[in-house]
Amino acid sequence: MSRAHGGFLLVRTGSRLVGLELAHVVEVMQLSSVHPVPSREPAVRGVADVHGRITPVLHLGALLEAEVRPAVFGNLVVVVSVDGRKVCLEIDEAQLVVREPALPVPAGSTLPWAIGVARRPEGLVPLLDLTALSSRFMEASST
């Protein structure tokens, strides 16, 4: 069962809808520019100046699917903070805040990085465990 009781921000990345724990969400913002950086990680878009701090930018869908990010930068990001480190996760849309407790991941489901699910009209939406996923995106942002 989820440790998250504060709710989730539901975001869309590509055709995928996922939830981000509100305890980690700093803000949703549009970035005017991202500066490319060399990286072996295909999800890394680059770095951006966020309130005077250089912050890594990763495409959330590419990170979750371990695939190459889209060529065109969509400019909408969710700034999240995990263990005191901030990262921008590029998304297509921030949809809604869900204040309901997370439901357990159904037995037999293959929902990597999920700490639970939310029941929505579209079906079950995975609620991401950003603490567990942070090892992946912190590694990606430093390569």
pTM: 0.88
How much is the pLDDT for 142?
Answer: 59
Q: Which of 133, 3, 124 is nearest to 78 (CA)?
A: 133
SS (HEC) of 39-84: CCCCCEEEEEEECCEEEEEEEHHHHHHCCCCCCCCCCEEEEEEECC
Q: What would the pLDDT profile of 104-132 be if each residue is shown by its tens digit?
A: 988 888 777 888 999 898 889 999 988 88
Q: What would the pLDDT profile of 31-49 be if each residue is shown by its tens digit?
A: 989 999 998 888 899 999 9
> What domains sit in the chain, N to C, each tagged with a CATH number?
8-141 (2.40.50.180)
| pLDDT class of 59 with cuts at 50, 70, 90 | very high
Question: How far is residue 31's CA from residue 26's CA, in Å, rounded to a whole number?
Answer: 14
